[in-house]
Amino acid sequence: MEHTKQVRVLMLNDMEKLEKRLFRLEQGFELQFRLGPTLQGKNVIVYTNYPPPGGTYDRQAFHPLQWHNPHGREEDSDKYCKLDLQIAGSFQYRFDHDGQKSGEGYIVVDPVLRIGADSRVLPLDCITLQTFLAKCLGPFDEWEDRLKVAKESGYNMVHFTPLQTLGKSRSCYSLANQLELNPDFSRSGKKYTWNDVGKLVHKMRTEWDMLCITDVVYNHTAANSKWIHDHPECGYNLVNSPHLKPAWLLDRALWHLTCKVIAGKYAARGLPALIQNDQQLNSIRGIIWEEIYPKLKLWEFYQINVAKAVEQFRTLLASGAQKKGSKADPKNLVIIQDLQFRRFGSTVDMETALSTFIPHSNGPAAIEECCNWFRKRLEELNAEKHKQINFHHEQAVNCILGTMTYERLANHGPKLGAITKKDPIVTSYFTFPFGEMSLEEEEPLMHQQDKACYFMAHNGWVMGDDPLRNFAGPDSNVYLRRELICWGDSVKLRYGEKPSDCPYLWEHMKKYTEITAKHFHGVRLDNCHSTPIHVAEEMLAIARSVRPNLYVIAELFTGSEYIDNLFVNRLGITSLIREAMSAYNSHEEGRLVYRYGGEPVGSFVQPCLRPLIPGIAHALFMDVTHDNESPIAHRSAYDLLPSSAIVSMACCATGSTRGYDELVPHQISVVSEERFYTKWKPNLNAPSSSEVNGASGIIKGKNALNKLHQELAAHGFIQVYVDQVDEDIVAVTRHCPHTHQSVVAVSRTAFRDPKTSFYSKEVPQMCIPGKIEEVILEARTVEQRCEPYKKDANTINGLPQYTVNIKEHIQLKDSKIVRQAGVTTKGPNEFVQEIDFENLTPGSVIVFRVSLDPNAQKSVGILRNHLIQFTAHFKSGSLQDDQVYPILKVPFADIVAKLTLADLNQVLYRCDAEEQEDGGGCYNIPNWKPLKYAGLQGLLSVMMDIRPKNDLGHPFCDNLRSGDWMIDYVSNRLIARGGACAEVGKWFAAMFAYLKQIPRYLIPCYFDAIMVGAYTTLLESAWKQMSSFVQNGSTFVKHLALGSVQMCGVGRFPTLPVLSPSLPDVPYRVNLITQEKEQCCPSLAAGLPHFSAGIFRCWGRDTFISLRGLLLITGRHIEARNIILAFAGTLRHGLIPNLLGQGTYSRYNCRDAVWWWLQCIQDYCNIVPNGKEILKCPVSRMYPKDDSPSTAAGLVDQPLYDVIQEALQRHAQGINFRERNAGTQIDRNMRDEGFNINAGVDPVTGFVFGGNRLNCGTWMDKMGESERARNRGIPATPRDGSAVEIVGLSKSTMRWLTELSKKNVYPYKGVKIQKEGREVIVAFSEWNQRIQDHFEKYFYVSEDPSDPNEQRPDLVHKRSIYKDSYGASSPWCDYQLRPNFAVAMVVAPELFTPLRAWQALEVAQKKLMGPLGMKTLDPDDMVYCGVYDNALDNDNYNLAKGFNYHQGPEWLWPIGYFLRAKLHFAKLIDRETYQKTVVLVKNVLSRHYTHLERSSWKGLPELTNENGQYCSFSCETQAWSLSVVLEVLHDL
C-alpha cells in the first residue's frame, strides 16, 4: 500500500527523556508512537496533552491513547497509537509501563498562516519580515505611509516592538502599562484604541498580503508602572525576598559612593568624576575594600550571635537538658540562616548542639568547658561565613570594575563620560522611591515592611548563567555578587510557581496576552531565555486559545542547542531568530544559509511513512536585528545588498530591520531614538530625508530579493547548495526537485570598504550546470551625486549617496555583469555554462534561472511518469513518452508476478560465493567495499543507510555519478539469467536508458527511486506466494519470511540429488551447457556467506532444523517436500548425511540429522493439507544398499515410509561402520578412531545412543585443529552417549508413528530386533513408553541431594536442570548445563513434569540467555569462554583455533526452542506466568527484530560472542537462526 498521507513514527524506549530533542511536525501529519526494543511486550500506556478529537487543549490534562494492532495477533510488534495533528502548538507525551513512569518528550506542530482576502496559505519559508520600533511610527494616522515602505520593499510580515505605553526611560521594551495603547499614537483631538490597531492589521492582511506580529514582554515592567506600586508583591522586594537585603544595602552604598565622587570627595585619592584610566579604576577597588565593605559588614547577615547562643546553651545544660551516650560529630552543627536576614539573626539547632557537646558531669566547671567548645565551634562557623562573603565581595568588585571599563573606557563601549546621578558608577539594582538620606538612615527601612516592599529588584541578564535558573531566587547570589547586567528602568516580575502565588500579576498578564493574540498574528517572546518558562508556557496556551495558529518567534542566548530545544519544545516556538551579523566573513554567512534550511541538491525522495527524527528549530534568518549595530559601521555600505541576497536565498523565513534598506549608518536605539521613520513616496525626484521610494538605498534590490525568496519557497525550491567561489563571492543555488529548475544567486560581498581596501578585478570563472533561461535580476550598489549624509533631527534617514542599479528578467546577452557565457558539455547529456564576469564589483548580485538541458528534462519527465506506478509523488513534472519501450508499457507488478520464489532469490539476493559459482560476483564499489548481495537487496541495504541522511558524498553515490557501471550491472546480470528474471532485467535496462540521459548529479536520486519502487514490488510479490500467516503477519514476520527467499534458491549447479522421475511438481530447466533438461529444485543454504555454495551449501542437520520455519510455516510446501525426498534418497547406514555434497560427496558422520529429518516429515504431515500423502511419495535411492555405488534416479524407487522404516530398523539393530575414504582426504584433523561411526538404541531405556570420544555426531561438532595447543583431532564436545535433543526427537517420532500405525496410515507397527537368538518386534508404542518411563529418571538433576536416581552426585554442580547427555564417555559432560534440553521440551513436552521443566528453564534463562542467543555452556563451567576466534592459534587448549565454538559463544537457533519451551510450559503453570512469559518473549524477539532491520545482510547471525557482541567468524545470516524466530512468532 502506497502512503500518500505524511506519517512519522516515533519509537519509544524505556527511560528515554527527550525534552531536549526537537520533533517538528506539520498540521495534517499523522504521528505514530511505536514500541522500541526495550518496551516490546510490556504493558505500555502513552499519554498526551494533545486534545482528543472534539476536545480543547489543556496543558495539564493528559489522556491515554488507544493502541492499534493492525494484525490482531498476540505478536503485536507493529502495534501503534497515533495522533492526527490538526492544531498548532507544543504538546507533551509521556508513557509508563506497569505503573512506572518510563519516558517523555515533546512535539511541536507548526501553525498555518494565511494572507489575502482569499486566506491563502503563507508557508513559513516564504516569510519576509521587517521589524519596526513602534514609537518611531509617529501618530497612528501616519502609520500607513510609513508601513507602506515595508509593503513596497516586498515584505509580507511586520514585526512591531510593543505598542503599549512606555515607561520613563522610553525604551521600547520597558512598558508602563501592558493593557493600554501608547498614548503617543493619539492626537489631541483623536484617541486611538486597540480596535483601530486591529482594523489596520486586518487591512494589511487582506489588502496588502502582510501579517503583523508584536513582542510580548513577560519578564519585567517599567519601574514607574503605576500598577507595580499598587501591587509591589508582583516584584522581588525586600519583604517577599528578604535574601536580597545584603545586596540592597551594597547597592545603596554604591549609590552613596557615586554621590561622593560627584561631590569631589575622593579626588584627593585619585578618583575624579571623569574616569580616564585604569589607575583611577583601581582607586575605586581600594575604596570599596577599605571603606565600604568594612562599614557594611555584610557577613553579619549570615552569622550567629555567639554570646547569645552560648548563653542559651548554658541555660539548657544547667536545666539538665544534656544528652547521654556517644557524642555526635561537631561538623553536624551548622548555621540555620535567618530567613528575615537580620544581622546576627541566624541560629543553630540546639538539639544537635546538646548531642554534640556533652559535659562529663553536671558540675559548673564541666558545663563551662562544654560551653567553651560550643563557642569555639560557633566562631568557626561565623569565620566560614565571613570567608564565603569575602568571595562574593571579590566577585562584586571585579564585576563593578568590568562594567565601568566597558561603559567608560572601552573603544567598543558607550563612553559615558563623567560620573553623574544619571550615569552613576554602576546602575542601581533596586528601586528607591524615597528622598535623599544617609546610608545609616536607609538601613532600618529594609526591615520596615511598609517601606521595604517598594525596594524592588531591577531586571537584566547574567552572562553565561543557566537560563532555567531564577537569578533573583533565594538560592542565587547574582545581586550580591553584582553579576547582573542591569536594566535600571525595569522591575523584574515575581510570578511564583502558579497563579495563586501572585494572582494579580498572572491575571494582569493574561489580559495583556489576550489583547495581543486578538489583534496580532504572532508574537516575539522578548528576553525569552530569562522569562520563567512555566509563565511563558501558560501565557502562550492562553494566546493560542484566542488565536490557534499563532506564529511564535524568539531569540535565545542559551549557548546550547539542547537548552534552545527545551525552550522551543515547551513554548512551541515556531522560528528562532538567527543573525547574519554573527558571520565574521562571507564564508561563514554562506555556511549559515546551508545550516538553517533546505536539503542538499539531488537529495533522495523520502517515503511518506518514515521515522520521526530530531531536527533543529525553524529559522527566521535576519540580515540585521534591532539589537545589532548597523552593518555599515562594521562592514561597508556596499555589503548590505549582497549580504541581503545571501540571506534571501536561505530556505527558511528571512527578515530585516527598518533602516537597513535605507542604509541608516547607525543602530536605531530602542531606548534613545525618538525620531520617526521616513514615509513612502513613489514619485520622489531626489533623495529626501523624510521620504523614500524604490531608488532610496537598496529598497528596489530588496523588493526583488524578497519577491524571489517568496517565489522559491512557494514553488518548492527546497534544495540548497552553497559554493564559496572565492573569499568574497558566495553562490547559493536553490533547486526544485520536481521540475529540476534551479535559481543561482552569485553575490560579491563587501565586508571591507571597497574605497579603502583592495579587491581584485579578476573574478573566477563560474560553471553553472544546465541551461540559463534568464537573468532574474542583476543589481549593483553604486554611488550617486547628492548632498552628503547629515543626520536629520526629526526623521531616521539613511545615506543618500548610494543607490542600486537593477535590471530584472533579462537575457544573458543583455547582462552588464556577465562578459560572456560559453556552453560546454561535462558528459554525454550534461551541459554546463561557463560564466565570465566583468562587472561583478563588491556590492553586486546576479541571479540566474537555470533549467536542465531539454533532452535531460524530457528524460526526467518520462522517468517520473514511469515511477508514478510506485508513488504519486512523481506526478508533478512527469511526461508521457510517444516512443516508449514496449517492456515499459507493462506495469512492473505484472512482470514481477511471473517470478517464482526461486527467481526472486536470484533477483533479490545471492551472495558473492553463490554468484561466483555462476561465473559472476557481487558489485564492488571502488574506495569502499563489495555489496553483500548481487541482487537488489545488496543495493538497498546501502541505500537504506544513505537515504535518511542524504549522504550524497558516499562512495556509492560517487560511483553512480561517475559512470554507468553499477546501473548496467543491475540490468545485465538479470538479462543474462534468461526466463522471467530476464524480463525484469529488460525493464531495468529500459528505465536506465532514460536514467543515463539526465545530469549525473541527479542519478543517485532517480536510481534510488527506481530501485525502491522495484524492490517494494518484488517483496510484495514474494509475500503473495507465501502462507496466510506471512501475508497477514507483522512487518517482523514478513521480513523474517524473506529469509526463506534469501536461503532457498538454485544456482547453475543443482545442489540436491535428482528426485524420482515419477514424482509430480518437480521444477525442470534446460542446462545451458548440455542443452538437456535437468531438475532445478531449490535447496536451503545453511548460512551466508560461508555455507552458500558448492558442496558446503547443504547440510542435513541445518536443512531440517530450518525447514519447518523457512518452508512449512511460510507455505512453501512443494520445496519442502522435494528437499525431504531428496535427502531420503541419500539414506545410508540408516543415517541422513551431515554434509550433503550433492549426495556423491556425502559424509554420514552425524547422529542427529536423521532425527531432525524425521521430525520434519512429521511436521509436514501435520502442517500441509493432505500432508500424509508424502509418506507414499517415491524416493529414488542413491544407495539401495550401504555399499551400493551411486545409482541413477528412477532405478530403485521406494515409498517414503519404507525409507523411514529402514532408518528406524537400522538404529534398532545397531549401526556400526567406518567412514568411506577415512583419512586426511575427507578430514585433515580427525584421528583414526573418530572415523568409526556407531549408533543404536538402549533396549531398556529406549534412548538412542552413539558416538565416541574422538568424534562429534551432534550439532556441537567442533573438532580441534591446533598442533600448538595439542587439541588437534580431539572434539571439543563429543556428546557421545545419549544426547538430550536426540532422545527428545526420537520420542517425538515414536509418539507420531504410534498414532499413524494405529490408523494404518503407516504400514509398520514397530521395529524388528534379535532377542535371545530370535527375531521379535518392538512396537513403536513400546519404544515410546520406554523413553517416557526412563527420561526424567536419568536426565533430571533433582534439587534433592539424596535423589536415589542420581548415579554420580559427585558431578552435580547445578540442580533443577536436565542433563545434556546420558552415558557420555566423560561422565562430567552429562552434567554440563547447555541449552539443548529445550529442543526435547518443544518436540516431546510429555517427557517433562511441568514444574521441573519450568525450574530448569528459569535456570537456563538466568545462566544461558544472552541478548540474541543462548550461551552454549554454563558460564560457571571451568572451560567456558564466550569469545570465538577461529584464527587464534596459541597454547591455550580450550581456545586455540576456535576450540570453544560451542563452549560459551551465544548461538541463535537454541533461543528459538528455549522461548517456545517457555511459552508451552508457562501455559501449564498459570495465566499470570504465561502473560509474563509473553512479555519476555516479545522483549527478546524485539532485539532480533532490531538486528534484522539494521543488518545489511537482512538476516540473523549464526552466533554472537558473549553478551551479544559481534563475532566476525559467524555467518552474517543463518537459515536456522531465521527459522526458529519465525517459529516462535508462529507459536505466539
Catalytic residues: 526, 529, 627
Is 1154 within 8 Å of 1286 (Cβ atoms)?
no
SS (H, E, C) 755-807: CCCCCCCCCCCEEEECEEEEEEEEEEEEECCCCCCCCCCCECCCCCCEEEEEE
**C-alpha to C-alpha distance for 152 and 147, rounded to whole angstroms:** 9
Is 549 within 8 Å of 113 (Cβ atoms)?
yes
Is 142 within 8 Å of 679 (Cβ atoms)?
yes
Sole residue written with cell 500423502: 1173
Phi first, then psi: give them for residue 427, nearest 5 degrees: -65, 140
**C-alpha to C-alpha distance for 412 and 403, rounded to whole angstroms:** 13
Is 1369 within 8 Å of 1253 (Cβ atoms)?
yes
Is 1453 within 8 Å of 1526 (Cβ atoms)?
no
Burial class (CB in 10 A: 0-12, 13-18, 19+), 226: exposed
Lookup: cell for 1302? 494405529
- Nearest CA-CA partner of 208 in 324, 117, 140, 76: 117
Q: Cβ of 312: how many Cβ atoms within 10 Å?
A: 14
**C-alpha to C-alpha distance for 1255 and 1257, rounded to whole angstroms:** 6
CB-based contacts of 1074, cutoff 8 Å, min separation 6:
none
Lookup: cell for 283? 582607586
Is 747 within 8 Å of 587 (Cβ atoms)?
no
- Nearest CA-CA partner of 726 in 765, 780, 779: 765
- The one-letter code for the residue type at 1297 is L
CB-based contacts of 367, cutoff 8 Å, min separation 6:
314, 317, 318, 359
Lookup: cell for 748? 560579491
Taking phi over 0 as left and psi of -120 to 50 as alpha, with beta for the rest, 1190 belongs to: beta
- Nearest CA-CA partner of 1518 in 1132, 1127, 1097, 1172: 1097
**C-alpha to C-alpha distance for 598 and 1048, rounded to whole angstroms:** 44
**C-alpha to C-alpha distance for 919 and 1052, rounded to whole angstroms:** 9
- Helix (H) or strand (E) run with residue 734 in it: strand 729-735
Helices (H) and strands (E) in the chain — how many of each? 41, 57
**C-alpha to C-alpha distance for 580 and 568, rounded to whole angstroms:** 21
**C-alpha to C-alpha distance for 806 and 1458, rounded to whole angstroms:** 78
Is 951 within 8 Å of 603 (Cβ atoms)?
no
Sole residue written with cell 583611577: 280
Q: Cβ of 347: how many Cβ atoms within 10 Å?
A: 15
Lookup: cell for 501? 502565588
Which residues in 138-182 belong to E strands, given as ranges? 157-160, 164-166, 175-181
Q: Please give the C-alpha separations between residue 1297 and each of 666, 933, 1204, in angstroms, as whole numbers.
A: 99, 43, 10
Task: Say how many CA atoms lie within 13 Å of 1434 toward its Cβ.
Answer: 5
Terminal alpha carbon distance of the chain: 26
Task: Say how many CA atoms lie within 13 Å of 980 toward its Cβ.
Answer: 18
Lookup: cell for 582? 554573527
